[in-house]
Structures are given as C-alpha cells and as structure tokens.
C-alpha cells in the first residue's frame, strides 16, 4: 500500500467498515443502495499497513450462492418469485455496521440478526443470537450502541404490527447477566433506524414514517411499504426517553414534524438528557435508489434537544447548515458523555440532479452552535463511508479523522487522514492497489492493543 504524507504515530489500530458491496445476483440487478450484500473492509494501521476486504456469508448470501440466483426480496428491489423469511421479514444482507462486543466482532444489518466475524481473518463465523434471545425473525437494529466502559450493548427492534406497533429495547451486559428487554408501545408502525444512549437513558427520535406489513405481504418492497404522510395528515414527531438500565419509558414528548436518520450522541445528569442528532424535512430512503443515488437529498440541520424529565419539556437548538449531512461520528471513548464535536460527511450542493457524492468533511460544534467545513474534495472526489475519530493521547482536543476517500479522475482509491479540528487537505493518503471499494455505511476504529 502506497502512503502519501505522514500518518501520525498515535494512529495505530483497525478502521473497520461495513457496507453493501454486491449489487447483482444472477440476472437480478439491485435497484437500491440498502440491497447490496454486506462487505467488511478493514484498514489495519501498524508498522505495515494492511487492507482486507471480505463479503459476509449470511444466510441470504449462502442460500443464494447455493441456488445460483437471487431468492430474497430486497429493501428496494422486487423480482418474480422473491421470498420473505418465514413469510414475514426480509432477509438481512447484514450491510449496515460492524462493532466489537466483548471479545467478539459483530456485523449488523437492518432489522435482522447480527453475525459474528473472526477478528483476525474477518471470516463469517455464524449468526449471533445473544444466547438464543434473538431469532432469525426478531427485528434488531443495525445501530447497536456499545458502552466502551461497561461493555454493555444496547439495541432495539420495531414490531410493525398495525394493531399493536411497538419498540423493543434491549440491554445486553458484556458478562451476559441480567439481560433487559422491554416493550414500549408506539403510536404507529414507524420506521426507526438509529438511537442514542447516555449513561442513564436511551433516546429515540420517532417520526411518523409509517411501514405497512400488508404492502410487504402483498409483494411490495420495504421501500414500497414505507409512507411519509403529507404535512396536513402527519402525526407529530416524538422523542422517547427510556431508562437505559431497566428499559422503562421515562418521557414521550412532541418535538415538531421532522425526520432523523442518524443521531450523534446523548448525555445526561440524571434529570436532564441532551441528545445531539441530524434532522431533515423528510426521509431519504427514496434517495438511495441507485439510478439517482443521493441526487436530490435535502439539507440537514444539526439539532441539540435538551429534555427536562421532571417538567416534561424539551428545548431545541438548531445549527443552520446549507449541506446535506450524514454519518455523524464522535470520539467513541467519550460515549454517553458531553461531547462538543462530531464529524460528518456532507454533500455541498443539495437539490442538484448531478451531485451524487459525499464531497465534504465537516465538524459540528454543538457547544458553539456552528458547523465548520474541514475540507471539500476536488471535483469528482468523494468520501466512502462514516468517518472515525482517533484521539491524540498527548494533546487535549486533538486527533485525526480517518475515512475512505476516492478520486476516480486520478485512479486513486483508498483512505485519507485529516486533522480533526484544523480545516485543510488530507495529512496523509493510503492508496489501494486493488481499485475501488464500494460506497459504504458505518465504521468503527479499534485502537491497537499495544
Ligand atoms: Fe445508519
């Protein structure tokens, strides 16, 4: 691997990324970004830098490889004879994220089982059921939260029952003791992709993005089954605050009429919970159609919600930003604590039919209520997945951002490092000889043990 520039000596460890990497099975071409089979990429930064990439051998992958053709209906792709798992759920391509839980490395997909990977080779070991507590049709998030101090993994799943829609919250302690599972009624069968967790609470931004099981059962895709009602008939968006430890509902408050795909962080002092997240006017899964990928995405605003649990009141602070923003990342060592910054990818020209790439790296400063562009790529260059922050152990408020970065016009594919606080071009680029890796979703950085 060729390195341009200098990688700071404290940047040692593994940057891991999950994302959809295969979009054709047999004669079927997938039509939606979320349909591609999960592929794990790893850049190991050490004396010798090593890149590894391996597809996840999920049940879906294995059954379709054996059959030599696609079998399962996708998030946004349907085809003749497509199947659901037990007739009620889509087969997860396990393509959303990858996290460490205890000694294990787990890959996650939307509303499906996690899969365990070999930590050295990235080979797929098998589904991870948390000791039999989840099954192949248990809804489970692609966005679990792992507390780096306690080791707890928090997650959730949504039941889209038309009569009794609900959210199930889970807390899995690292030692497998006292698992918490609580069921919280929802006002409707609403799609929820992400949540945030502080030391004492879990926060859910629940907008009325309605999912119809009837449409799915009658042959529609997940995208067909989702509906964002027109303004006048839309129920309010709500913020649910759940006790992280016992799973009880502590607050359910109206917070306007907007949509949130990803949250950045949450922190609390016992009676006040602060939640940092990104809001948009509407959902963007329709913008993930591959024929017009990200072409007309809306602008995004960083929002800080502060909830007074005793008074049942929410204070909202919005940061103006002309970009479409996504993939917020924080210093994961400060999980659940007050964090001033988060880093995210941006699309600088929203509304254009022609701009289809994440071309900017930004830092939101939630304390000063500002959003700063750290760097915008030259024409055609794009960022390829969630950035990760690596702190400088010798300097406070210092570190680097690592992210896949590609410049097709130069036939350059790989990763780059930026100063996390000072705007400017990459400090270093690590270039892959094997060519492009696909636009991916979520990352994690595992520091080297030495
Ligand atoms: Fe996500």
Residue 375's pLDDT is what?
97
3-class DSSP state for residue 292? helix
For residues 213 and 162, give the distance between their C-alpha atoms in angstroms, rounded to a whole number.
8
The CATH number of 2-447 is 2.130.10.10
Q: What is the pLDDT of residues 272-329, one digit of tens each?
A: 999 999 999 999 999 999 998 998 899 999 999 999 999 999 999 999 899 999 999 9
Mean pLDDT in residue range 336-350: 91
Q: Among 380, 388, 250, which Cα is nearest to 312's?
A: 250
- The rounded Å distance from CA 71 to ligand 1 centre is 25
**CA–CA separation, 159 and 205 (whole Å):** 16
Taking phi over 0 as left and psi of -120 to 50 as alpha, with beta for the rest, 385 belongs to: left
Q: Taking the alpha carbons of 323, 441, 219, 186 in that order, is the dihedral positive or negative? A: negative
**For residue 188, how far is its CA from the centre of ligand 1 (angstroms)?**
21
Pairing of β 28-29 and β 24-25: antiparallel
| Backbone φ and ψ of 258, nearest 5° | -110, 175
Asked if residue 353 has pLDDT above 70, the reply is: no
Mean pLDDT over the full length of the chain: 94
Mean pLDDT (whole number) for 366-381? 92
With the CA atoms of 263, 336, 157 and 25 taken in that order, what torsion angle do they form, in degrees rounded to the nearest 10?
A: 60
pLDDT for 137: 86
CA distance 369 to 402: 24
CA of 112 from ligand 1 middle (Å) equals 14
- What length does the chain have? 450
The Å distance, Cα 395 to ligand 1 centre, comes to 31
For residue 408, give every residue at least 6 positions away whose Cβ sits within 8 Å of its Cβ, in sequence order, or none. 380, 381, 436
Helix (H, G, I), strand (E, B) or coil at 25: strand
For the stretch 90-117, pLDDT in tens is 999 999 999 999 999 999 999 899 999 9
- Taking the centre of ligand 1 as the mean of its atom positions, its distance from the CA of residue 221, in whole angstroms, is 19
Whole-angstrom distance, CA of residue 271 vs CA of residue 424: 40
Taking the centre of ligand 1 as the mean of its atom positions, its distance from the CA of residue 214, in whole angstroms, is: 25
Distance 110 CA to ligand 1 centre (A): 9
Query: pTM value?
Result: 0.96
- Rounded to whole angstroms, the Cα distance separating 116 from 359 reads 32
pLDDT tier at 409, thresholds 50, 70, 90: confident
208 Cα to the center of ligand 1, angstroms: 18
97 C-alpha to ligand 1 centroid (Å): 8
**Res. 351: pLDDT tops 80:** no
**Residue 162 DSSP symbol:** S
Q: How far apart are CA 160 and CA 354, in angstroms?
A: 36
Give the count of beta carbons closer than 10 Å to the beta carbon of residue 327.
23
The two structure tokens encoding residue 284: 């963007």
| Rounded Cα gap, residues 211 and 447, in angstroms | 39
Structure tokens at 185: 């009624």
Rounded distance from Cα 259 to ligand 1 centre (Å): 14
* Closest residue by Cα to residue 94 from 119, 70, 124: 124
Query: Positive or negative, the Cα torsion across 204, 205, 208, 210?
Result: negative
Q: How far is the CA of 73 from the centre of ligand 1 (A)?
A: 20
CA of 399 to the centre of ligand 1 (A): 24
pLDDT for 216 beyond 70? yes
CA–centroid distance, residue 326 to ligand 1 (Å)? 9
What's the pLDDT tens digit per position in 224-244?
999 999 888 899 999 999 999
Amino acid 352: pLDDT: 63
Query: CA-CA distance, 318 to 304, in Å (whole number)?
Result: 6
As a whole number of angstroms, the distance between CA 81 and CA 63 comes to: 15
Q: Are 342 and 361 in contact (CB under 8 A)?
A: no
Tokens of 153: 């993994």
Q: Do residues 206 and 196 touch, judged by C-beta distance below 8 A?
A: no
Domain boundaries in the chain? 2-447
HSE-CB at 4 with a 13 A cutoff on CA atoms is 11
Q: How far is the CA of 109 from the centre of ligand 1 (A)?
A: 9
What per-residue confidence (pLDDT) applies to 449? 80
Quote the ligand 1 centre to 99 CA distance (angstroms): 13
Quickly state the pLDDT bin for 175 (edges 50, 70, 90).
confident
Rounded to the nearest whole angstrom, what is the distance from the C-alpha of residue 158 to the centroid of ligand 1?
15
C-alpha to C-alpha distance for 39 and 377, rounded to whole angstroms? 25
pLDDT at 263: 98
How much of the chain, in percent, has pLDDT values that exceed 70?
98
**What is the predicted pLDDT for the residue at 87?**
86
- 27 C-alpha to ligand 1 centroid (Å): 28
Asked if 312 contacts 288 with a C-beta cutoff of 8 angstroms, the reply is no
Least confident of 16-30, 63-77, 161-175, 349-363: 349-363
Ligand 1 centroid–CA 442 distance in Å is 7
Cα of 48 vs centre of ligand 1, distance in Å, is: 31
Could you tell me which residues come within 8 angstroms of residue 127 by beta carbon, excluding any fewer than 6 positions away?
A: 59, 113, 114, 115, 116, 136
Query: If we measure between CA atoms, which residue out of 163, 120, 146, 153 comes closest to residue 14?
Result: 120
Contact between 136 and 127 (Cβ < 8 Å): yes
Contact at 8 Å (CB) between 315 and 306?
A: yes
In the reported structure, the alpha carbon of residue 49 is separated from the centroid of ligand 1 by a whole-number distance in angstroms of 27
- What pLDDT shows up at residue 188? 96
The alpha carbon of 30 and the centre of ligand 1 are apart by a number of angstroms equal to 19
Cβ count near 395 (within 10 Å): 9
Helices (H), 14-107: 59-67
Q: Which residues contact 417 (CB under 8 A, 6 or more apart)?
A: 5, 7, 8, 11, 400, 401, 402, 426, 427, 428, 429, 430
In this prediction, residue 355 carries a pLDDT of 54
Tell me, in angstroms, the distance from the centre of ligand 1 to residue 141's CA.
9
DSSP character for 112? S
Which is more confident, 180 or 357? 180
pLDDT for the residue 354: 63
Contact 32, 75 (CB under 8 A): yes
> What would the mean pLDDT of 254-280 be, rounded to a whole number?
97
Q: Residue 356: is its pLDDT beyond 80?
A: no
* Distance from Cα 384 to the centre of ligand 1, integer Å: 14
* pLDDT (mean) for 264-273: 96
Residue 362 has pLDDT above 60, yes or no: yes
SS3 content of the chain, % helix, strand, coil (to 5): 10, 40, 50
Say how many Å lie between the CA of residue 193 and the centre of ligand 1: 6
């Amino acid at each position: 691997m060729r390195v341009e520039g200098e990688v700071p000596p404290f940047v040692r460890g593994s940057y891991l990324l999950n994302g959809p990497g295969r979009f054709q099975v047999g004669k079927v071409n997938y039509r939606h970004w979320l349909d591609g089979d999960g592929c794990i990429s790893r850049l190991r930064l050490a004396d010798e830098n090593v890149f590894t990439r391996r597809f996840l051998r999920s049940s879906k992958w294995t059954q379709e490889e054996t059959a030599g053709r696609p079998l399962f209906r996708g998030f946004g792709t349907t085809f003749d004879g497509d199947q659901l798992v037990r007739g009620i759920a889509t087969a997860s391509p396990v393509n959303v994220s990858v996290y460490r839980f205890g000694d294990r490395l787990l890959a996650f997909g939307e509303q499906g089982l996690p899969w365990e990977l070999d930590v050295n080779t990235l080979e797929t070991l098998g589904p991870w059921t948390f000791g039999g507590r989840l099954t192949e049709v248990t809804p489970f998030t692609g966005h679990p939260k792992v507390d780096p101090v306690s080791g707890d993994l928090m997650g959730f799943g949504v039941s889209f029952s038309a009569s009794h829609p609900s959210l199930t919250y889970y807390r899995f302690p690292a030692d497998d003791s006292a698992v918490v599972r609580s069921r919280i009624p929802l006002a409707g069968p609403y799609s929820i992709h992400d949540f945030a967790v502080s030391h004492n609470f879990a926060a859910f931004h629940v907008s009325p993005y309605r999912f119809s099981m009837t449409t799915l059962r009658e042959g529609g895709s997940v995208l067909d089954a989702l509906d964002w009602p027109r303004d006048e008939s839309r129920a309010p968006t709500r913020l649910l605050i759940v006790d992280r430890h016992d799973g009880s509902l502590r607050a359910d408050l109206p917070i306007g009429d907007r949509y949130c795909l990803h949250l950045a962080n949450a922190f609390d002092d016992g009676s006040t919970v602060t939640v940092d997240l990104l809001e948009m006017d509407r959902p963007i899964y329709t913008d993930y159609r591959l024929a017009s990928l990200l072409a007309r995405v809306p602008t995004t605003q960083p929002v800080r919600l502060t909830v007074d649990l005793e008074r049942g009141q929410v204070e909202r602070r919005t940061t103006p930003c002309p970009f479409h923003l996504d993939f917020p990342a924080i210093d994961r060592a400060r999980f659940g604590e007050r964090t001033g910054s988060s880093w995210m990818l941006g699309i600088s020209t929203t509304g254009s039919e022609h701009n289809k790439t994440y071309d900017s790296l930004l830092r939101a400063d939630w304390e000063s209520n500002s959003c700063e562009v750290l760097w915008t790529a030259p024409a055609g260059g794009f960022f390829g997945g969630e950035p990760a922050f690596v702190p400088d152990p010798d300097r406070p408020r210092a570190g680097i951002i690592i992210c896949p970065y590609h410049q097709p016009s130069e036939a350059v594919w790989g990763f780059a490092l930026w100063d996390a606080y000072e705007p400017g071009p990459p400090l270093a680029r690590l270039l892959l000889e094997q060519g492009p890796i696909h636009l991916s979703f979520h990352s994690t950085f595992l520091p080297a043990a030495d």
